[in-house]
Amino acid sequence: MEIGIIGLGKMGMNIAENMVEKGFTVYGLDVNTALKEEVDAKGISFAETIEELLSKFSGKKTIWMMLPAGDITETIFQKVTAQLSAGDRIIDGGNAHFEDSKRRGAACADQQLHFFDVGTSGGVSGARNGACMMIGGDAEAFAEIEKIFAAINVENGYLYTGPSGSGHYLKMVHNGVEYGMMQAIGEGFNVLQHAEYDFEMGKVAKVWNNGSVIRSWLMELAQDFLTENSRLDDIEGVIQSSGEGQWTVQEAMKMQVPVPVIAQSLMVRYASLDEEKYGEKVVASLRNGFGGHAVVKKED
């Protein structure tokens, strides 16, 4: 089976290698044309344009986009679908908003194309060695390509979720849960860091990851970096967010479904980006105004 992957970054490249290893014929496209020699050496036929990528197919086309959500995904989607024929397939394996995926699915249906929104989890190692994927799209069309997902995911690691949008919706909520889990782990280790006892954080993570209720891949990752540098004094406590946590909270608010842990973990991420801390300065000044509480002044 032939598959064309657009976007050969860390995730796209590893998914492409995974597919090649599983016996698929893979074509690749990336704006970084300097990748050509490396990509070709991995058994992935490199193309420099969409037209060249599509010309490589001998039959029905299956195009897999692995791109950042937003304008770039929309641009490539429009360019690719304009050149596909009835019965061809386009897959979005990035973290697009589910409403965008619903719209793209409807647009493809009008052109007699098959669109699949695929929420992808498992990180870079999962992309290469076996991921977890949640797939929305037409059920009959999915049956034609299910063998791709059976091959590149871990056992029991893929799920057909329903119509277009459902795959990215499920991945959105998955990432919201992920926000809360990581926040709880971070808070727990912060308590230990300030405790009266001299815990070895790497060893704590190790024992928690062997037989305990909270054992997980996240705890395994914590064990790795806390063993290497338990004080984490080489990084800033700035937490970026890629959008899915915010989307989860917005969707929950729309439905009036309480998600206090996910919402709080999102707020912590926003707070970590606030270097000015203007709101905290206002609160400190208010406490000083009504109660005479001391305000910590900046040193000159």
Burial (0-12, 13-18, 19+ Cβ within 10 Å), 21: middle
Residue 246, phi then psi, degrees to nearest 5 = -60, -45
Would you put residue 194 in left (φ > 0), alpha (ψ -120 to 50) or beta? alpha
Task: In whole angstroms, give the CA distance from residue 121 to residue 271.
Answer: 26
Sheet-wide strand order for 89-92:
45-47, 25-29, 2-6, 62-65, 89-92, 114-121, 131-136, 153-162
Q: Which residues are catalytic?
A: 171, 178
Task: In whole angstroms, give the CA distance from residue 201 to residue 225.
Answer: 10
Whether the CB-CB separation of 22 and 149 falls below 8 Å is answered with no
Task: In whole angstroms, give the CA distance from residue 80 to residue 130.
Answer: 27
Q: Which of 50, 61, 43 is nearest to 7 (CA)?
A: 50
Structure tokens at 256: 């009036």
Structure tokens at 48: 């420099």
Task: In whole angstroms, give the CA distance from residue 124 to residue 43.
Answer: 19
Q: Which of 48, 47, 38 is nearest to 17 (CA)?
A: 38
DSSP 137: S
Residue 217, phi then psi, degrees to nearest 5 = -65, -35
